[in-house]
Amino acid sequence: MDDFWLIKIDNVSKVFKGRGMFRNEPEVKALDNVSLTVKKGEVLGIIGESGSGKTTLGKLILGLLKPTSGNISFADINNNSTENRKPLVQVIFQDPYDSLSHMMTVEQLVAEPCIINNGKNVDRNRIIRALESVGLTPVESFLRKYPHTLSGGQRQRVAIARAMISEPDMIIADEPISMLDASIGVDILNLMLDMKERTGITFLFITHDIAAAAYISDNIAVMKEGKIVEYGSRKQIISDCCHEYTKSLLLSATGAGTENEYFCSEF
């Protein structure tokens, strides 16, 4: 895999100001001078406890939030060497119950990114292919279903199909398996790895589960209290980490026993 960078995050900070009418509530520093480079074609795992700012980082890259200071730059991509464009970033959210509008059918949900960008005419075959690629078969039986008739795993598959259909250069997966059963979570992780193999897509995998991150990621960044405390390849982080916090995360993951079988089998 070539070592070109896709996204460079440069000294980014994000502060949430306290909003009180009479007294000012304390400011929350969600991100504190974070610098990170996402390389093209890699799976970058970001792990950390809740409140460590990993979701904020994802939202900043997506453009849903504006950084207080610092800069996020995107690489220019030229496939046909004629025109440069910004990399297309898509997202898979944590909560598959909240992220799919319950007023739309699966077909409408998956078609949505295309409709937003290209107007009304969407190639139906493309939707069918996208659903097939995430393993929702037979596709015909799913097209007319509403999300509330689907299981959590199926919903998350719809969310992946929806993110993949616009052929993005990068997908930010914000804790995609934390609301799913362990076994279904592994299926989703395998699906994501499979996607990466086939399309060479870049993944930013945000999680609190170091075992899942170790299973899927090429490189791992460990976050704590808005800072990146450790960054390295998977091997480095798992076998010879130096930071106390990473050690405690690893200890809790291995200590949990059989629950994390995919972690144990890797190492």
Partner 1 sequence: MHEKTLFQRLKSPKGITGLAILCFFIFIAVAAPFITSYSPADVSSSPLLEPGSEHPLGTDDVGKDIFSNLVYGSRTSLMVALLVSFGVLIIGTLAGVFSGYTGGNLDRVMMRGVDIFLMIPDLPLILILAAYLSPSLWNIIFILILMGWPVGARITRAQTKTLRVSGHVDFARVSGAGNWYVIKKHIIPDLYPIMITTVVMQSIRAILSESGLAFLGLGDPSYPSWGTMIKYAISYPLVFFTDAWMWWLMPAGLCITLLVLSFVLVGQALEGDK
CB of 70 to partner 1, least distance (A): 20
Q: How far is the CB of 113 from partner 1 (least distance, A)?
A: 4
Stretch that binds partner 1, among 43-51, 57-65, 73-81, 238-246 (CB under 8 A): 57-65
Radius of gyration for the chain, computed over Cα atoms and rounded to the nearest angstrom:
19
Our finding on whether 152 is near partner 1 (CB under 8 A) is: no
The verdict on 180 binding partner 1 (CB under 8 A) reads: no
Cα within 13 Å of Cα(91), Cβ side: 18
Shortest distance (Å) from residue 85 CB to partner 1: 13
SS3 at position 15: strand
Q: Which is nearer to partner 1, 88 or 193 (CB)?
A: 88
63 contacts partner 1 (rule: CB under 8 A): yes
Q: Is 62 in the site for partner 1 (CB under 8 A)?
A: yes
Closest CA to 171 of 132, 206, 134, 201: 201
Classify residue 76 by its DSSP letter.
-
Packed helices 124-133 and 152-164: angle between N→C axes, nearest 10 degrees: 130
Q: Does 154 help bind partner 1 (rule: CB under 8 A)?
A: no
Strand 202-207 relative to strand 170-174: parallel, antiparallel, unpaired?
parallel
Nearer to partner 1, 35 or 118 (CB): 118
Output b/e per residue, 243-252; b: 16+ Cβ within 10 A.
Answer: eebbeebbee
Helix (H, G, I), strand (E, B) or coil at 240: coil
Based on the shown chain and the rule CB under 8 A, indicate whether residue 20 belongs to the binding site for partner 1: no
Say if residue 61 is exposed, middle or buried (CB neighbours under 10 Å; 0-12, 13-18, 19+): buried
Give, as ranges, the residues between 80 and 119 that touch partner 1 (CB under 8 A).
89-91, 93, 95, 98-103, 112-113, 116-117
> In this structure, what token pair is assigned to residue 180?
């799913």
How near is the Cβ of 149 to partner 1 at its closest, in Å? 11
156 sits near partner 1 (criterion: CB under 8 A): no
160 makes contact with partner 1 (CB under 8 A): no
| Residue 115 or 256 with smaller CB distance to partner 1 | 115
CB of 184 to partner 1, least distance (A): 19
Is residue 257 part of the contact set for partner 1 (CB under 8 A)?
no
Site of tokens 């993951």: 253
Report CA torsion sign: 254, 260, 261, 265: negative
Interface contacts to partner 1, rule CB under 8 A: 62-64, 89-91, 93, 95, 98-103, 112-113, 116-117, 146, 162, 166
